[in-house]
Amino acid sequence: MPVEEYRKQVEAFSTDLSREHYMYFSGQKDRLELACLYERYSDLYSLDAVTEIRRWRSEASPQYSAIPQSLDKLLAFAVEHHLQMATRGISEQISEYESKAQITWQGRMLGFYESFVVLANEPDPSARRQLALRAGEVISRGNDLRTERIARQREACVALGFPSYLAAYTSTRHIDYTSLFKPIMEFLQATDRFYTTSLRRALANEIGVGLEDAHRSDVGYFSRLKRFDPHFPKEDLVACYNASMAGLEIDVARQTNITLDIEPRPRKHPRAFCSPIMIPDEIKLVITPHGGADDYAAFLHEAGHAQHMGWTSRRLTIEDRALGDRSVSEAYAFLFNYFIADTDWLTDILRFKNHEDFHQLQKLLKLHIIRRYAGKLRYELELHDSPSVHRDLASTYARYLTEATRFQYDPVEYLYDLDDGFYSADYLRAWIFEAQLRDHLRRRFGRSWFKSKKAGLFLMELWETGERYGADDLAAQIGLGSLDTGALLAEFHDAA
């Protein structure tokens, strides 16, 4: 297949896949039917396809009208979906097992997934521990399937000619995950005192739990910050988004390519999400507003993705619109996500005056999630470096995550709390880039940069490049130098 035809097919596949996700998670379709969709496009990520793209890559010449970086993105796409195909049977078994699993709780039956919602709303710490134990039993029974899934991913990588799973991602995505390890560990160390002191105080004040007793099952309840709900009414969420965009001179009413889906439907997924059905022409921004700070943050995060993709130039190839460095879109998403941790935004847009406590807590929650992902990356590098998935890794997982977050983790989650393809590293790189970018926006356009037309134009120029450049290249082009944890570290420095 010529490269032009391959791109067309990738575009068609991405559109169908995104539409299927949108229809299912927005509650407009009963079942998520991915199997036949993956079958229909299987030529795009077969062994032959991977070989073909490698051939284009080695012969990169004008006749393919593609530069090597573009072909690398197509190769990363093919390899990633090849791994999905190779594990699809077992992935389906896992999701079927989990979606049917039930937990007996306080005289009623809870679905496994439902138990996490109950957990986040349970005010009694000992009840939370008990419920988490029951959920842990469900997780434990699924661990053999998950071990098998990792073994198949590894076999598939070797069959594609990569020495390992880590090597497959490092070489196709051009991200040196192991070199991220050192600065991230230094970040953990440098923020440790501020984190521990703030967390001890906040846990005592907010949920009456001592730092030594803090458990992973407390995280959801603690993060809700329920007492601030009156400042984040569900009725005002969309108006708050509109006002934030208006500050950047983005008139959302005129953005016909970004559709806001706020209609309540019984089966609609409760959390906000963004479905880029066609970039930039058909972007769905979906939410059922519930109110509360985390609801606002989740929606603003997805709005960041939507604006990025909605402003992406349609002249770019599919790989430069949709298949690049995932940290880039995540950084734009974090930029809006953390409006709620910005004192000027809280005052100017939300009209939340006495926000000192709230602001300190938001800072702490941000640091908590970054530290959690630092712990995850540290563990994942060890897991994927290990020749087999053995039980010792479970205690390593619990130790690293507990050390990083100070919440006691249960070893049982060592394969459950794990994303494919080093997404943990993508998030970490996004947090680093976002902090540098926001620092730049503040210096150039003032502390209230979110009310500056010029800042809006600057962002649109960046968004227009879609995913053509990686986070490292963008940072260099803006004049920020290389990706560096300095700006991120400074966010947690003043109160240390």
Residue 361 touches Zn ion, criterion: CB under 5 A: no
Unique residue bearing structure tokens 């943050």 = 297
Q: Say how far apart CA 34 and CA 20 lie, in whole Å.
A: 8
Among 165, 206, 223, which Cα is nearest to 386's?
165
Stretch that binds Zn ion, among 212-220, 245-253, 324-332, 357-365 (CB under 5 A): 324-332
Stretch that binds Zn ion, among 21-29, 322-330, 345-353, 424-432 (CB under 5 A): 322-330
Q: Say how far apart CA 22 and CA 277 lie, in whole Å.
A: 8
Unique residue bearing structure tokens 């470096």 = 385
Report yes or no: 418 and 412 within 8 Å, Cβ to Cβ: no
Report yes or no: 143 and 133 within 8 Å, Cβ to Cβ: no
Residue 286 touches Zn ion, criterion: CB under 5 A: no
Least distance in angstroms from the C-beta of 285 to Zn ion: 12
C-beta of 333 vs 365, nearer to Zn ion: 333
Residue 219 touches Zn ion, criterion: CB under 5 A: no
C-beta of 376 vs 406, nearer to Zn ion: 376
Question: Which residue's CB atom is positioned nearest to Zn ion?
Answer: 333
Q: Say how far apart CA 249 and CA 458 lie, in whole Å.
A: 11
C-beta of 252 vs 300, nearer to Zn ion: 300
Q: Which residues pair with 258 in a beta bridge?
A: 283
Name residues whose C-beta falls within 8 Å of residue 263's C-beta, 6 or more positions apart in sequence: none
Q: Which residues pair with 109 in a beta bridge?
A: 104
C-beta of 325 vs 330, nearer to Zn ion: 330
Least distance in angstroms from the C-beta of 1 to Zn ion: 32
Looking at residue 408, the DSSP 8-state letter turns out to be B
Residue 45 tokens read as 């990520």
Residue 283 touches Zn ion, criterion: CB under 5 A: no
- The three-state secondary structure class of 105 is strand
Least distance in angstroms from the C-beta of 45 to Zn ion: 23
Least distance in angstroms from the C-beta of 411 to Zn ion: 28
C-beta of 320 vs 330, nearer to Zn ion: 330
- Residue 88's Cβ-count burial label (10 Å; 0-12, 13-18, 19+) is middle
Q: Say how far apart CA 452 and CA 447 lie, in whole Å.
A: 10
Stretch that binds Zn ion, among 19-27, 214-222, 333-341, 482-490 (CB under 5 A): 333-341
Q: Say how far apart CA 437 and CA 486 lie, in whole Å.
A: 12
Residue 333 touches Zn ion, criterion: CB under 5 A: yes
Residues in region 151-190 near Zn ion by CB under 5 A = none
Residue 471 touches Zn ion, criterion: CB under 5 A: no
# residues contacting Zn ion (CB under 5 A): 2
- The three-state secondary structure class of 195 is helix
C-beta of 209 vs 300, nearer to Zn ion: 300
Stretch that binds Zn ion, among 118-126, 176-184, 326-334, 377-385 (CB under 5 A): 326-334
Least distance in angstroms from the C-beta of 330 to Zn ion: 5
C-beta of 85 vs 303, nearer to Zn ion: 303
C-beta of 203 vs 298, nearer to Zn ion: 298
Q: Which residues bind Zn ion (CB under 5 A)?
A: 330, 333
